[in-house]
Structure 1
Amino acid sequence: MNRIVKYITLLLAIALMLSCRAGKSVYLFTSFHEPAKEGLRFLYSYDAYHWNAIDHIFIKPETGDAKIMRDPSIAQGPDGVYHLVWTTGWKNDKGIGYASSKDLIHWSAQQHIEVMGSEPTAVNAWAPELFYDDEAGDFIIVWASTVPFRFPKGQEDENNNHRLYYTRTKDFKSFSPSKLFLDPGFSVIDAEIVKRAKNDYVLVMKDNTRPNRNILVAFSNNPLGPYNNYTPRFTEAYSEGPSMIKTGDNWLIYYDSYRLKRYGAMRTTDFKTFTDLTDSVSVPVGHKHGTIFKVTKKQLGQLLKAAGQTEGAKHE
C-alpha cells in the first residue's frame, strides 16, 4: 500500500512539475537578418540573457515597394491578438507594414499604413514601435521620419534629420492624425516606450546625430510626453535599436552595436545608472533588432514545431 501511495505521490509531483514547466514564461525577441528581404524571425530565451534562434521565417514581407521587413515590433492586445509593425523601406516610403496573429504563426493579410501620407516631403518612416496604453485602452505607434528643412540639424544630411512621430489606434483600421511625438533638439530614431508604473514612463532612444549615434533615456508621467531629464549617452558610438525587458528587479537593454558587429546589453534598475553586460549575454550571429516580450512555454513549443526544430537547438 505504501508503495502505491509513494507511486501516486511521485506521479502527482511529476504532473505538477510538467504543468508548471508548461506554463513557464519564455522570452521572445523579434528578429530579422540583413538584407531584410526574408521576413520575421524569433529568438527565444528562458533567462533573458542567453538566446537561441528559431530557424524559420514566420511572415514574409509583401507590402511596400521595397518588400523588406526591418525593425519588427510586436505588442499583444487585451484580447490576446498579437500586432506586428515594421519598416517597409529605407526611403521614398511614407508607410509602415502591419499584420496581426493569434498564435504568431498564422498571420493576417499585410497592410501598408501611410502614416506620413499627410506630409508631402517626408522622406521615410523608420522603426515603428508599438506600445499598448493600458490606461487609454489603445495602441500608440511611434516611428522616426525626416521632413527636410523643418528642424535645425547638426552634421548629418538634411534627409537624415529625424524626429519622432506617432498615431493612436484601437483596431488598426482607423488611426488618429499623425503628430509630432518628440523633438529633442537633435536627430532621433529607434524609440521604445516603457511603463514602469502608473504615471511613470521611460523613453529609450537613439541619438542619431554625428558623431554620437548612441543610446540615451528620458522620462515622463505620460506615454505621449513631454519627456525630459535626458540621461547621458550610455552606449558606445554606432549603436542602435534598443530593446527592453524586465527580469526580476532589473531592466535589460539590448542594443545593436553595428560597427563592432555584435549585440550589446546594459542592466539597470532605475534607467540612470547602467552596468555593461555585453560579455555575459549570448545572442545568435545575424540577429538584428526588434522587441522582446513574453510567451508561455506551450507557445514556444508551437513555434518550434512550426519551424521543425527541436527545443534547445542552436542555430547561430
Structure 2
Amino acid sequence: METKMSATLRPGPQPSRRRFLGMAAATPLAATGALALGAGTAHAADSAYAMCYFTESTSLGAGTDYGLHLAVSTDSLNWTPLNQNNPLVTPTAGALGLRDPFLMRKQDGTFVVIATDLKGTDWSYNSQYIHVWDSADLRTFTGYRRLKLHDMTTHSWAPEAFWDAGRGQYAVIYSSVNSSGHNVIMVNYTSDFVTASAPQVFFDPGYDVIDGDMAVGVNGYNYLFFKKNQTLVAARSTSLNPGSFREFSTGVAHGGTEAPTVYKSLTSITWYLWGDTYTPNGVFYAWRSTDLASGTWTALDQKTYTQPVNSKHCGITTITTAEYNNLIATWGAPAWNRLKSYNYPDRYVRHFDYVGRIDAYPFDLYTDSLWKLVPGLADSSGVSFQSVNNPTRHLRHYNYELRLDANDGTSTYAADATFYRTAGLADSTWASFRSYNNPTRYIRHSNYVLRIDPISTATERQDATFRVGY
C-alpha cells in the first residue's frame, strides 16, 4: 500500500505491493521450452510476465485512473502497457476505485486479482473489504465481488496472496492497524476468495510495517518483504505460520521507498526487487540479487528497466507464451512511444513550450513525452515524430535546434521533420536518429535541449542514443 501509515509515519499517500515480477516486444513470442523453476516462482510453462497496477499523474489529473491496468513483458524489466494504458476493468462497489492490485495464478491455473478498496488518496477511508476478480486468461474478468476481511474500524491495505500448502488454502496478507495503534501485516485464509477465515496477526515486529510481499519456498525459507521507515527490508521463516517471521536483511531505498515486489527471473538465478516512491506518479527503482538468503541487494542501472507510464504499486506474475500473445492480440500495444535517454535514463524526450528536450520523469503533462513514430514526411523509409497531444505538430530542426512546429505542408518542413532510425551510436540495441536533410548530423541532447549535431566523441554518441519503448 502506498503509505498511509499510522500517525507515527509519513503523512500522505499510498497503498501497495505484489509478488513476482520492461520494453517488452509488442510482437508474438516464439514458442519456448518449458522452464522448471523452484518453488515460489512460476509454473513450468511460463515464459513471460504480466504486471498489474493503477495510475497516478503528478497532478492527479490526466493519467490518473484507479482501475485495473495490465502490461506485459518478455524480460520483466521493460513493459508494454495494454489497452493504450487504459484500465481493463474498474470496481463497481465500495470506493469505486482500487489501489495496489495483486495478480496471482491459482492452483487450478486460472488467475485471481485482489486490490485495496480505495479510490484516490483519502487515507481516512477505512474499508474492511478488498476487491476481487477471477480470470481464466486475463482477457476477461468475471465474478467481481468484495471480500470482507475483518470488523475493525481500520483499513485493509495492499492485499497479496500466496498458497499455503500445509493448510491447503490461500493466505491473504494485508496491512491493518492493531490494538497498539501501529500497522501490522494481517492474514486471513480462504479457499475461494469468496469467504475468509477470521483475521490473525501475521507479522508484528513492534513498529509500523506495511506492504507485505512474499517469496515462498526458496531453499528452505519463506521470505516476507515489507516497508519499514521508508525502506524495503525482509523477514524470513522456515514455516508459513503467523508470528514466525524475523527481520534479517539490509534495507534498501531510493529516497522514501515502499511497495516491494520481489520475483525471480525465468531465465537466470537472478531475483529482482522493485520499490515505489511515495509521490503521485511515483518512480519505480529496482535492485537485483542472486541469493535471497544474503539479505543484500545491488541497485540496477535505470537503463535496464522502464515502468509503464504513470504506473503505481505493481503486482507481477508469470505467464505462458500463448497468454502473452493472446493479451497483445486482445488489448493491443500502445499506438505511441516514449524515448528514454541513454546517458540520462531518468529523462525522456518531451516538448515544453514547443521546444524539444529531455526531462526527468515524472512531469506534467506526461503526454508531452508521447510520440507517434510515423513514416517520414519526406521519405516514408524514415520516421517523423508526431506529438500525441499536439497532433498537427512534429519535431523538426530549425537552426539545428529541435522544436515542435505545426506542419505547414512545405517540402522544407517535411525534410526538417524526417530522420532515419539507426542502431544506437552508444549501444546498438538502442536507437539513434540521423537527419534526412543534414545527413552528417544526428538528434542529440545538449544541456537537456534537443538539436542535430555531427557526432564524434563518446559523450556525443551517448547523447544521441535513445530507447524507443513505452
Q: Same fold (TM over 0.5)?
A: yes
Paired positions, count: 282
Residues 58, 104 of structure 1: 8 Å contact kept: no
Aligned to 2:75: 47
Return the offset for 1:263: 0.9
Return the offset for 1:112: 1.4
Q: Does 1:291 align with 2:320?
A: no
Q: Does 1:32 align with 2:54?
A: yes
1:257 to 268, 271, 277: 277
Return the offset for 1:37: 4.4
1:70-109 equivalences under 5 Å are 70-89=99-118, 90=123, 91-109=125-143
Residues 218, 230 of structure 1: 8 Å contact kept: yes
Tell me the distance in 2 between the aligned counterparts of 1:47 and 1:311. 21
Aligned to 1:276: 299
Identify, as 1 or 2, the structure richer in helix: 1
Residue identity opposite 1:29 in structure 2: M
Q: Does 1:133 align with 2:154?
A: no
Aligned to 1:68: 97
1:186 to 207, 214, 222: 207
Return the offset for 1:38: 4.0
The change in CA–CA distance for 1:102 and 1:213 in structure 2 (over 3 A counts) is same
Stretches of structure 2 lacking an aligned partner (at least 5 in a row) = 1-28, 35-44, 339-468
SS in 1 for 2:197: coil
Tell me the distance in 2 between the aligned counterparts of 1:313 and 1:101. 29
| 1:118-144: CA deviation from partner (whole Å, max 9, x where unpaired) | x2xx32110001112244332110000
Residues 37, 67 of structure 1: 8 Å contact kept: no
Return the offset for 1:290: 2.3
Q: Does 1:146 align with 2:169?
A: no
Residue identity opposite 1:94 in structure 2: Q
Residues 75, 132 of structure 1: 8 Å contact kept: no
**Residues 253-262 or 104-113, more deviating:** 253-262
| 1:234-265: CA deviation from partner (whole Å, max 9, x where unpaired) | 11341111111101111100111234932100
Tell me the distance in 2 between the aligned counterparts of 1:177 and 1:303. 37
The change in CA–CA distance for 1:182 and 1:20 in structure 2 (over 3 A counts) is closer
The change in CA–CA distance for 1:106 and 1:265 in structure 2 (over 3 A counts) is same
Tell me the distance in 2 between the aligned counterparts of 1:49 and 1:170. 32
Aligned to 2:231: 214
Tell me the distance in 1 between the aligned counterparts of 2:32 and 2:184. 45
Aligned to 2:385: none
Residues 52, 313 of structure 1: 8 Å contact kept: no
1:235 to 244, 253, 261: 253
Return the offset for 1:175: 1.6
The change in CA–CA distance for 1:267 and 1:308 in structure 2 (over 3 A counts) is closer
Stretches of structure 1 lacking an aligned partner (at least 5 in a row) = 1-16, 152-157
Aligned CA-pair RMSD: 2.6
The change in CA–CA distance for 1:219 and 1:57 in structure 2 (over 3 A counts) is same
SS in 1 for 2:142: coil
Residues 37, 61 of structure 1: 8 Å contact kept: no
Aligned to 1:172: 193
Residue identity opposite 2:187 in structure 1: Y
Residues 252, 297 of structure 2: 8 Å contact kept: yes
| 1:168-190: CA deviation from partner (whole Å, max 9, x where unpaired) | 11122332111111111111110
Return the offset for 1:229: 3.9
Residues 264, 278 of structure 1: 8 Å contact kept: no
Residue identity opposite 1:184 in structure 2: P
Tell me the distance in 1 between the aligned counterparts of 2:263 and 2:335. 22
Aligned to 1:11: none
The change in CA–CA distance for 1:244 and 1:144 in structure 2 (over 3 A counts) is same
Residue identity opposite 2:325 in structure 1: G
Residues 148, 195 of structure 2: 8 Å contact kept: no
The change in CA–CA distance for 1:262 and 1:173 in structure 2 (over 3 A counts) is closer
Residues 170, 190 of structure 2: 8 Å contact kept: yes
Residue identity opposite 2:128 in structure 1: K
Q: Does 1:20 align with 2:20?
A: no
| 1:181-218: CA deviation from partner (whole Å, max 9, x where unpaired) | 111111111001101436410000011xxxx2121011
Tell me the distance in 1 between the aligned counterparts of 2:155 and 2:334. 40
SS in 2 for 1:109: strand
Residues 214, 262 of structure 2: 8 Å contact kept: no
TM-score (norm 1): 0.81
**Greater C-alpha radius of gyration:** 2
Residue identity opposite 2:297 in structure 1: F
Residues 67, 90 of structure 2: 8 Å contact kept: yes
The change in CA–CA distance for 1:195 and 1:26 in structure 2 (over 3 A counts) is same
**Residues 215-224 or 232-241, more deviating:** 232-241
2:87 to 33, 54, 57: 57
Residue identity opposite 1:254 in structure 2: W
TM-score (norm 2): 0.56
Residues 232, 258 of structure 2: 8 Å contact kept: yes
